[in-house]
Amino acid sequence: MVMGFRVLDQFCDVAGAEENSPASIGEMRVLFFLEDLGPSPAVAAAVASSYSATPSVAFSLPHQFGFPDPHRPVTETKAIGGDTQPEEAPDIMSQAPGASAARDVVEGLKAIRKSPAYSAAYALEVWRRQEEERARARLAESEAELREHLEEEHRQRELARAQEFRQRQTEFRDLEVRAKKKLLELQQREAVVAQELKRAKAFTEEATRRADSAILSVEEAVRWQRAELSSSELEHGAKHRRWETKLQQLETELQDAETELKLEKSKNLQLMKDELEAVEPPHGAQRTAQLRTTSSTANELAQRHESGQLRMQLCEQELRCATLEASRDHFRRKVEELCKRLLQEPGQVRQSSRVDSEKKKEKRSLSLSESGSPPAPLRTPSPSREHSAGKLNQSSNSPTFLPPNLAWLQQQRAELLESGFYSDVDPAIQALDAKLKQAQEAQL
């Protein structure tokens, strides 16, 4: 009689052993089929004899007598029988040898199955299986709910991750656009800076070249002026020595004239005395005293007049010498200031030139007031100087832009002309005019 069966179906993948082979090169399937045909006659007789002695053995080994195994899963065990009561096994034991013993076993089994304990055990087993089915259903339901919950949570996470990814991607794109824009701006700024550096370098080279040429021209003018000053100093020294020699000669002549005058005066007095004594003896002494007084007064007046003229000539010569020395010192200071201030800033140059001119005017006025002597006669501006000053004013009022050092030179030229010590024929003014003309031509 058939009591039940079991089936085991197992799948197994076959992997390749080579490096370049695929992950799976085949599939192996193993199928096991186990069928329970019931106890053998000898075992059945032994079980019957043992059951007659101890009936509880039937409950200890239920699977040997056709009862369902409580430890066997329902899906794997399939009992042959109805829902409420199992069917009776076919009577095959009567055909086997020892049929009487087998029949006794079968009868014992029938008696056991009809007993209340067996019914209670069977009902308990059915209830257990139902509860297991319900538990499996609840477990499957909770598992499905949990799976849905997890799937929904995973879906929400995936949506959030996709949204965050899109947001980050947008941010990265915006950042990339801004970085490209900043890079382009930096490249443009670098190009502008390179152009400005190139322009500044060219301007610096041009300014250096102009400054060098100006310094060379000024040095040449200074050398020329020094030579002119040395020659003029020698000439004025020679003139001064000639004037001193002439003054000494005049003093000698004056002394000789005074000596002769004294001699003539004594002779005249003696003659007048003799004449008076011869003509008017009573009044001769009085007349002689009057003549002596008159002659002495005349002599004193003549001497004072001559000495005054000589002093005037001497003062004029001293004033001329002082004027020449002041002109020489003034030109020397101007040349030194010109050499020092060529490389200074325009604002400092203009301010210092104004301060120096004011200080020089104050010193000149103080020296003249302290000396008490009349100021040296200033040179009247010639028509050529007025013409050059008009040209200078026109050039200064013109829209042509002059560099700061040339503007300062133009201002110094005007101050030199206004001081009265220089004219258009002076070498310093001619050198400044040549420099300004060269600068204007370079600007054009």
Last residue within a domain, chosen from 31, 65, 92: 92
How many distinct structural domains can be found in the chain?
Answer: 2
Report the distance separating Cα 97 and Cα 358, nearest Å: 160
* pLDDT for 218: 81
Last residue within a domain, chosen from 56, 76, 92: 92
Nearby residues of 388 by Cβ (< 8 Å), 6 or more positions away = 424, 429, 433
Asked whether residue 23 is assigned to any structural domain, the reply reads yes
Report the distance separating Cα 14 and Cα 10, nearest Å: 13
pLDDT greater at residue 45 or residue 185: 185
Over residues 334-379, the pLDDT tens digits come to: 766 766 666 554 445 455 555 665 665 566 555 555 544 444 443 4
Report the distance separating Cα 357 and Cα 354, nearest Å: 5
Residue 432 — very low, low, confident or very high, per pLDDT cuts 50/70/90? confident
Residue 196 — very low, low, confident or very high, per pLDDT cuts 50/70/90? very high
* pLDDT for 164: 93
What is the per-residue DSSP string for 54-99?
A: -TTHHHHSGGGGTPPPTTS-TTT----S-SSSPPPPPS-TTTSSSH
Q: Angle formed by the axes of helices 284-341 and 404-419, to 10°? A: 180
Asked whether residue 414 is assigned to any structural domain, the reply reads yes
In 3-state terms, what secondary structure has residue 45?
A: helix
C-alpha distances in Å from residue 433, one per residue of 389, 426, 429, 436, 441: 11, 11, 6, 5, 12
> In b/e form, how buried is each residue of 104-141, taking b as 16+ CB within 10 angstroms?
bbbebbeebbeeeebeeebeeeeeeeeeeeeeeeeeee
Give the largest CA-CA distance in the chain: 237
Asked whether residue 410 is assigned to any structural domain, the reply reads yes
Over residues 130-186, the pLDDT tens digits come to: 999 999 999 999 999 999 999 999 999 999 999 999 999 999 999 999 999 999 999
* pLDDT for 189: 92
Asked whether residue 43 is assigned to any structural domain, the reply reads yes
Compute and round to an integer the Cα radius of gyration of the chain: 74
Asked whether residue 436 is assigned to any structural domain, the reply reads yes
Last residue within a domain, chosen from 92, 126, 151: 92
Nearby residues of 270 by Cβ (< 8 Å), 6 or more positions away = none
Over residues 64-95, the pLDDT tens digits come to: 444 444 444 444 333 333 444 444 444 444 45
pLDDT greater at residue 302 or residue 346: 302
* pLDDT for 48: 61
The model's pTM is 0.26
Report the distance separating Cα 75 and Cα 21, nearest Å: 39
* pLDDT for 227: 81
Asked whether residue 53 is assigned to any structural domain, the reply reads yes
Asked whether residue 14 is assigned to any structural domain, the reply reads yes
Asked whether residue 87 is assigned to any structural domain, the reply reads yes
- Averaged confidence pLDDT in the chain: 70
* First CA to last CA distance, the chain: 134
Nearby residues of 360 by Cβ (< 8 Å), 6 or more positions away = 330
Q: What percent of the chain has pLDDT over 70?
A: 60
User: By residue range, what is the domain housing residue 442?
Assistant: 344-352+405-444
| Contact status, residue 142 vs residue 82, Cβ threshold 8 Å | no
Q: If you average pLDDT over residues 189-205, what whole number do you get?
A: 91
What is the per-residue DSSP string for 234-283?
A: HHHHHHHHHHHHHHHHHHHHHHHHHHHHHHHHHHHHHHHHHHHHHH-STT
Residue of 426, 330, 432 whose CA lies nearest to 391: 432
